[in-house]
Amino acid sequence: MSFIHINNLTKRFEGNLAPAVDQISFSINKGEIVSLLGPSGCGKTTALRMIAGFENPSGGTIQVDQRYIVSESDVTPAEKRGIGMVFQEHALFPHMTVAKNIMFGLKNMRRSQKIKRVNEMLELVELEDYADMIPSRLSGGQQQRVAIARALAPKPHVILLDEPFSNIDASLREKMRFDISSILKKANATAIIVTHDQKDAFAVADKIVVMKDGTIQQVSTPKELYRCPSNCFVAQFVGKTNLLQGVVSKDGQSINTSVGTFDQLEGILQPALSKVMLSIRPENIAVSETGRYSGCVDRIVYGGDSQEIHLTAEGHSSLAPTPLLINAPISFDIEVNEQVRFDISSKDITVIE
């Protein structure tokens, strides 16, 4: 049974015709890290605030550990939900030491118990030597870890993190992704992380909820989300992809596109001659001298360890030519306006519409 269950959660703000969050539903298992991923204004932070208790929903229910904290008839106050929150700006008390910041949320405990719990948290986030420092003496990453330790100290049912990487320097983001994931897993914490960055979500989350315009587009693991996007928005939002319009053949066994004909695709359930959309990741297109498909190179972008080849495919189709992006090894020697041949395996093509 799911540890957290959100059902038809909705939020309408006065003066707005469309809801900010529109009947979203998803479940979270205990100890699972889930990311709400989407562009600015998609409703992910509003959803997080409703779970935290900072916004009252217009409809729907929230259940945590078999207890309703939001039902049709009652809303549990934020301070009684057993939820820890890590804010985007950390919100540490500047006049308190690291230890006192972590101790702040510990209520109804003897002082010896509080000190023991603070020491456990300091060890968890590897800041034992910084207990007596004030936050201004710490780096951004260290402040982030203090904020997480403070949120975890009271042993909440779930911990919420709002854009935890947004104020971290680009050079530290990769380390902080690992640190936050490691801390949450060691604490066996159930967590929801809001982010607009695909790399952040993929590095930390066990499951990702992709949102757009207040609605859920897809709920899946990072691997499945990338390999099998449910629609064009998801395909483009979670990484670069080639979107090709195609037409199902009369026998229903292949799809004709501007690149060429693709056979033996999984999931061709559409009727013959219907239009479909295909998603093909750039890294799944293999440059080959004997490749089945070909195109003319329009532009080359070098990326250090690889290069992006932008070309116009020369398929035998009545459909309009489509630009194509290929990731090729840096050792591959090609120039603009040259012809390049390539292959695409049917197992690497996703039919998304």
Q: Check residue 137 and give its pLDDT.
A: 94
Instruction: Note whether 109 and 117 are within 8 A (CB).
Output: yes
Element (H, E) at 201: helix 198-204
Question: Which residue ranges make up each domain of the chain?
Answer: 4-231, 240-351
The rounded distance, in Å, linking the Cα atoms of 241 and 198 is 14
Mean pLDDT of 26-54: 96
Whole-number mean pLDDT of the chain?
Answer: 91
Are β-strands 254-257 and 261-263 bridged in parallel, bridged antiparallel, or unpaired? antiparallel
Q: Check residue 1 and give its pLDDT.
A: 65
Q: How far apart, in Å, are the Cα atoms of 78 and each of 54, 63, 81?
A: 7, 14, 5
Q: Which two tokens stand for residue 236?
A: 């483009």
Q: Answer yes or no: is pLDDT of 263 > 70.
A: yes
Q: Check residue 246 and give its pLDDT.
A: 87
Q: Check residue 158 and give its pLDDT.
A: 96
Angle between helices 170-186 and 140-152 (to 10 degrees): 20
Mean pLDDT of 149-160: 95
Neighbour-count burial of 61, counting CB atoms closer than 10 A to its CB (0-12 exposed, 13-18 middle, 19+ buried): middle
Mean pLDDT of 210-223: 97
Q: Check residue 318 and give its pLDDT.
A: 67
The structure's pTM equals: 0.91
Q: How crowded is residue 142: how many other Cβ atoms within 10 Å of its Cβ?
A: 18
Q: Answer yes or no: is pLDDT of 226 > 90.
A: yes
Confidence band of 70 (pLDDT split at 50, 70, 90):
very high
| Nearest residue to 244 via CA among 59, 236, 13 | 236
Q: What percent of the chain has pLDDT over 90?
A: 72
Q: Which residue has the higher pLDDT, 146 or 265?
A: 146
Lowest average pLDDT, out of 54-63, 114-123, 285-294, goes to 285-294
| Yes or no: domain 4-231 corresponds to CATH 1.10.10.60 | no
Reduced to 3 states (helix: H, G, I; strand: E, B; else coil), residue 306 is strand
Confidence band of 204 (pLDDT split at 50, 70, 90):
very high
DSSP state of 272: T
Mean pLDDT of 280-303: 92
